[in-house]
Chains A and B, each alone.
Chain A
């Protein structure tokens, strides 16, 4: 029995080592947003796997066996950082046995530390809910952040795969041009949203509100990650009936119950936002995500 097992072990090991190296750079992206950005910047030179679906709360994901398998073979991990993936990504990195993607090496890329983080708490205490000591990690929905992150990610791809440096540089430049133009267009289009009062569920629309000048007057979660109590909701209804917001923002991955309940009480529409690429049929890629988000907000603000 043992002899057979050993033979199996050795055969598998030899076969494993002898597998031909894949031409394309293997990338594990934690969210569909980063996967979309990688497709923009790396095209067919990258083989991108997305760890989460648009309908998952990225903070509450299991370190699934399939993800360990992907981390094992990855050349690059692209994560949000700022503790967003803290409940599962460290397990993947540790169990992968893959030196390329360990934090601190070139194959580990975090987006959030590159941009200005909002809501950095001056003191942290779990009595405030599941707060992130480094600041709000939901950085994607500000177009300026994407531009900054894209630039650094392009540079990282060049470092990792210098054979295709020119290709990445050209794609990066092209993306920046198109993104810049789109940003100008979005900002012009979203001008009527400035100052519009909205209610959010979790504090994951902060960057969007900050960018477009929406005023988030209340949050359905009293504290990050803490579901609302009946008492808190009643208080919210009283407060919002006196000064009604224009809309309630709900992300595709949020349960509709709480926002629908509030909507019926205060007679304010719920606006469904994709939050991430794939969250709505229109949000096919990063451009679609921003187009659709602004279109839906404008429709809701009418």
Chain B
């Protein structure tokens, strides 16, 4: 306590000087005094805590020297001497010796970001050749379709580094090293820390906030692959290069509104040589609890993208490969809903999760046929939709089962070239009307929070004709910093 007196004295002196300097601000002085009082209480409580510990340690030392043999015996696991027999001094809490503090000299690694790596891989047994996989009726995104290759595959290895930059910003880098030795920067963003009024600004490359699953990294999916709607409408997952502003309403019910503007580089947009922001997104999320055990979140999202010369491979009437290209606008609506139930909200032993999303896309613009040779241009308009619904249940600690159903409806697009009688519809086999669907079951086993093994079987009727029977065995291992996950 004596050490505190000079400190408090100095503070009071400063306080007195301030008073002399500015008589008119007596209110401020009063406030300062209150703060000093609070500081004193804070310090005195810490000092008292220290004093208490010193006393405890002293008595522990005394007790140890008095009854050294007994404590040795107890430590060795032998039955202790009857406690009632000896007239005991006040309880000597036997704190295990804390390790001596590591060198407190300056340390360049003290500010290392939180680093984690997630390793994933699978074994795939597919009844159809994955090279010919194509979701019928939909313009294929560049990559991102289908169950991947056969046999053993190294899936993505995800490296994440994140840390607060300063009191104002948080930054995160997530790089996915793919099994084919390429690196994707999945996310590299900064984000404000408590901008105030519930606002958060994010910039860089980030997974868009549209839908439910779009923001979630693959190792946290409940199935080994993406729902079909994500594959055809977002090319797997939409990563924005741009900025996002989110606002959480000051209400007890969770209401969040977000807006994004981006370059539109990623599917369904394309890289364009333009200063414009080609991608815009808006979303609203609402969520809450029902009792102790159930929580929910639902959302509505809107995405507006521009594409120019978004090419895709197709076959012409005679079966020869051609390259076609779409240019125009792509607008997507998403409705999502998620519900989680666990007894008393504790997912340790049982949890049920129901999740579904519905998407509707309108594409409007021009479609070029055989851009490398004939290069014919005509109008194009499509209205396509799809949905999935999945349920996952942890039936016993560490074990979960899941069921998912996917359905898509391609509709019949308006093709200017066909309407004008310039080309037959059979020159656009990819766009022939189709209703792809898929049913998936999975079971996974998590030995700890950090490891998961999964088996998944799917009856995939996404191709125009053949049914693909897909068996996937997957592993997911997380090492490094303990991650925190969104709902």
Contact = CB atoms under 8 A, between A and B. Distances in A.
Interface of A: 5, 9, 12-13, 16-17, 19, 52-53, 55-57, 60-66, 68-70, 72-73, 83, 86-91, 93-102, 104-105, 114-120, 122, 126, 129-130, 144, 148, 151-152, 154-156, 158-159, 162, 165, 169, 172, 187, 191-192, 194-197, 210-213, 215, 217, 225-227, 243, 253, 255
A154 B41 contact: yes
A80 to B, nearest CB: 15
B46 interface: yes
Interface of B: 31, 34-35, 37-39, 41-42, 44-46, 48-49, 52-53, 74, 77, 79-84, 88, 91, 93-96, 98-99, 167, 170, 191-200, 246-257, 259, 282, 285-289, 292, 295-297, 302, 340, 343-349, 397-398, 447-450, 479, 482-487
Contact of A69 (B255, B340, B482): B255
A87 B482 contact: yes
Contacts of A118: 95-96
A251 to B, nearest CB: 11
Given A16-B249, A55-B346, A65 B482 contact: no
B487 A65 contact: yes
Contacts of A62: 295, 340, 345, 347, 485, 487
Nearest to B340: A62
Given A65-B295, A69-B252, A115-B49, A83 B200 contact: no
28 contacts: A5-B282, A5-B302, A52-B345, A60-B347, A64-B289, A65-B487, A68-B287, A69-B252, A69-B253, A69-B287, A86-B484, A97-B192, A97-B194, A102-B193, A118-B96, A126-B448, A130-B449, A151-B45, A151-B49, A152-B42, A155-B41, A158-B34, A162-B34, A169-B37, A195-B82, A210-B94, A225-B449, A227-B398
Contacts of B296: 65
Contacts of B48: 148, 151
A215 B197 contact: no
A63 B256 CA distance: 14
Contact of B194 (A17, A96, A169): A96
A116 B45 contact: no
A19 B195 contact: no
Contact of A68 (B37, B254, B450): B254
B37 to A, nearest CB: 7
B193 A94 contact: yes
B42 A156 contact: yes
Nearest to B84: A192
A9 B38 contact: no
Contacts of A101: 194
A152 B48 CA distance: 11
Contact of A64 (B191, B295, B450): B295
Which are the 5 A-B pairs with shortest beta-carbon distances? Answer: A65-B287, A99-B194, A151-B45, A65-B254, A55-B344
